[in-house]
Amino acid sequence: MALLPNLQLLYVRDVARSQAFYEALFDTKASFSSPRYVAFLSDNGAAFALWSGGEAPEPVAPPRGELGLMLEGGDAVDQLWPRWRDLLDVEVVEPLHTAVFGRTFLLRDPDGHLIRVCQRD
């Protein structure tokens, strides 16, 4: 059995603000919440978490990479685009378009982390 990562952790400056942002984005409540750490569990057991650091918020390193959400096809990406673009306070980095790997768009969260939605490879 392959051992694959099952936790995506983002460092954030304001856990409460980021929790509200991602609860709206994912249309679900966090499965665990504390003043400095919040987690969301997927149906397959993988976790996505937000953390401000140790005992007190730590300086946040500049964001690198992307948080990716792969959907079943281009139609699903097209359907999600207007909801996330219009209902949330997000920065659009790349509007909906067709890339070499299919339909995609790219957003930025309040801490500068990139969020890519694309169709499954």
CATH of the domain at 74: 3.10.180.10
Mean pLDDT (the chain) is 87
**Residue 121 confidence (pLDDT):** 76
**Residue 44 confidence (pLDDT):** 87
The parent domain of residue 27 ranges over 1-58
Asked whether residue 70 falls in the same domain as residue 119, the answer is yes
pLDDT digits (tens, 9 = 90+) for 21-74: 999 999 999 999 998 899 999 988 899 999 887 666 666 556 666 888 999 999
Asked whether residue 42 falls in the same domain as residue 93, the answer is no
The first and second tokens of residue 7, run together, are 């936790």
- On the question of pLDDT at 20 being above 90, the answer is yes
Contact 38, 49 (CB under 8 A): yes
Asked whether residue 43 falls in the same domain as residue 75, the answer is no
pLDDT digits (tens, 9 = 90+) for 60-111: 556 666 888 999 999 999 999 999 998 777 899 999 999 988 999 999 988 8
CA dihedral for 50, 32, 90, 114, sign (positive or negative): positive
Asked whether residue 15 falls in the same domain as residue 38, the answer is yes
Asked whether residue 42 falls in the same domain as residue 68, the answer is no
For residues 83 and 87, give the distance between their C-alpha atoms in angstroms, rounded to a whole number.
6
**Residue 117 confidence (pLDDT):** 94
